[in-house]
A = this chain, B = another copy of it.
Amino acid sequence: MPVKVFLNEDEIPRQWYNLAADLPTPLQPPLGPDGNPITPDMLAPVFPMNLIEQEVSQERWIDIPEEILEILYRWRPSPLHRAVYLEKALDTPAKIYYKNESVSPPGSHKPNTAVAQAWYNKQFGIKKITTETGAGQWGSALSFACSILGLECKVYMVRISFDQKPFRKTMMQTWGGTCVASPSDQTQAGRDILAKIPDTPGSLGIAISEAIEEAVTDKSGSTRYALGSVLNHVLLHQTIIGLEAKKQLQKIGEKKVDVVIGCAGGGSNFAGLAFPFVNDKINGAQIDIIPVEPTSCPTMTRAPFVYDHGDVAKMTPLLPMHSLGHNFIPPPIHAGGLRYHGLAPLLSQAIVEGLLTPQSIHQNECYESAVLFARTEGIICAPETSHAIASVIREAKKAKEEGKEKVILFNFSGHGLMDLTGYEKFFSGGLMDYALPEEEIQKSLKSIEGLPKPQTLKSGKW
């Protein structure tokens, strides 16, 4: 029985898939501070124009430049595994497959877009890229990509994760990147927050503000900002995951996937695996597609679909998305990459359109699932990935109850070797499950009062 499926280098997908071309209703545009749609020019101080063009593209298939493929070949195509040992432990009739994105040098899916973004920035003549990072996966990936392509990299890392994961900084430094805890005293946005809340654990929203500020205030014009998730072009670069998975399933004669699962913070690893299957669903296939989030940061399951900023300092355009409000500071759970108030517009819209069925899960159930996975499949997952695994286990148990031989596919988005503090707390019984009180969400949502509202979907039309 094959337990993993490889593709050869010449079988790697040579185009990314753009879901924007296929959504039943068009995406609503990002808005500027005046409430009018922003133009590409307005984003030019933040991103290079070649990526802005990708961000607004309506092309279904976008060619992957050969030089990017050459870098991705270092670890791609990533293996597809069948989780035969987990299946056995669960005594489920379901077949469980996972795409193993932990095999990249930084250990997650993040380099898929880090390499692409660094490459496009370099093509555009940019010398330095700034960014934020939550758990550190993205900051490590961008440091890695910049190192390979000879660019400078500066990373603002959310304070709580910076403290929980002291070695992430060294990892980035080994790849030549510079990492500081956010909020920092290096930006106005950071200083403002520190003055108000000196002991804040930080948030991705704050770190984004700092990174954008450093990019746009560089007078030489050779610095740009890169975002590790949320935006259309970032999700686009990740679709190589799902496109590879399809080829791999085809190779072993697996014709139909019943359930597709991934964890979702900003949404990029989930989208990367799921969007090619969302396409199938749009075209009539019966598939349950499940993005999973922490109960403590319930963007998909409890937050409204609104226009909101991607960051605390309101430096980003207004994006049409599910949001808990840009001031929301999520509880200090260990899945740092899922501590984000917003959600990718493409993913938000797929939820609005009824194409996805989001779930939220508490962190203790996630760690229990992670430990079961480690003791059966053998790989220690990132705390973010544990949310996907917990959902897979629920689905596999459901398949057993229903007596159905379902095919479940999920994204093993990253390994947890840099995130063992959370496991340690779990083993010592010190992990808390945070159920966010409704009044906290409502309080946080006050920050979006007065902002423009997106159109609502009625009978399949805006």
Give the B-binding residues of A (Cβ under 8 A).
2-4, 6, 8-9, 70, 73-74, 81, 85, 103, 105, 107, 144, 147-148, 167, 170-171, 173-176, 370-371, 374-380, 417-418, 420-421, 423-424, 427
Partner of A4, one of B73, B424, B427: B73
Q: Give CA–CA (A73, B378) in the complex, Å.
A: 12
Report Cα–Cα, A371/B172, bound state, in Å. Answer: 11
- 23 examples of A-B residue contacts, CB within 8 angstroms: A2-B73, A3-B73, A3-B74, A4-B9, A4-B73, A74-B81, A85-B148, A105-B378, A147-B374, A147-B375, A167-B417, A167-B420, A167-B421, A170-B420, A170-B423, A170-B424, A171-B420, A173-B424, A174-B375, A175-B375, A175-B378, A417-B417, A417-B418
Measured between beta carbons, the chain B residues less than 8 angstroms from A147 are: 374-375, 378
Closest to A425 in B: B170
Partner of A374, one of B6, B175, B374: B175
What residue of chain B has the Cβ atom nearest to residue A381's Cβ? B174
**Contact flag A423-B173 (CB < 8 Å), given A3-B70, A6-B8, A105-B379:** yes
Closest to A379 in B: B105
Residue of B nearest to A145 (CB): B378
Q: Is the CB of B427 within 8 A of A173?
A: yes
CB-CB under 8 A from A174, the residues of chain B are 370-371, 374-375, 380, 420, 423, 427
Q: Inside 8 A of A148's CB, which chain B residues have their CB?
A: 85, 375-376, 378
The listed residue (B103, B370, B378, B421) touching A144 by CB distance below 8 A is B378
Q: Which residues of B contact A371 (CB under 8 A)?
A: 174
Please give, as numbers and ranges, the residues of chain B lying within 8 Å of A418 by CB-CB distance: 417
Give chain B residues whose Cβ lies under 8 Å from the Cβ of A74.
Answer: 3-4, 81, 377-378
For the complex with contacts A103-B103, A171-B380, 17 further pairs of A-B residues with Cβ separation under 8 Å are: A2-B73, A3-B73, A3-B74, A85-B148, A105-B380, A107-B417, A148-B376, A167-B421, A167-B424, A170-B420, A170-B423, A170-B424, A174-B371, A174-B420, A174-B423, A176-B375, A417-B417
A193 to B445, CA, bound (A): 62
Q: Which of A4, A8, A105, A174 has the most CB of B within 10 A?
A: A174
Task: List 6 tightest A-B contacts by C-beta distance, closest first.
Answer: A167-B420, A170-B420, A105-B378, A170-B424, A105-B379, A147-B375
For the complex formed, measure the closest distance between the CB of A164 and the CB atoms of chain B, giving whole angstroms.
11
Rounded to whole angstroms, the CA-CA distance of A376 and B150 in the bound complex is 10
CA distance A338 to B349 in the complex (A): 55
Interface pair B6/A6, CB less than 8 Å apart: yes
What residue in chain B is nearest A376 (Cβ atoms)? B148
A188 to chain B, nearest CB (A): 29
Chain B: CB-nearest residue to A169: B424
A2-B9 contact in complex given A167-B420, A173-B423, C-beta closer than 8 Å: yes
Q: Chain B residue with minimal CB distance to A380?
A: B174
- B residues in contact with A378, CB < 8 Å: 74, 105, 144, 147-148, 175
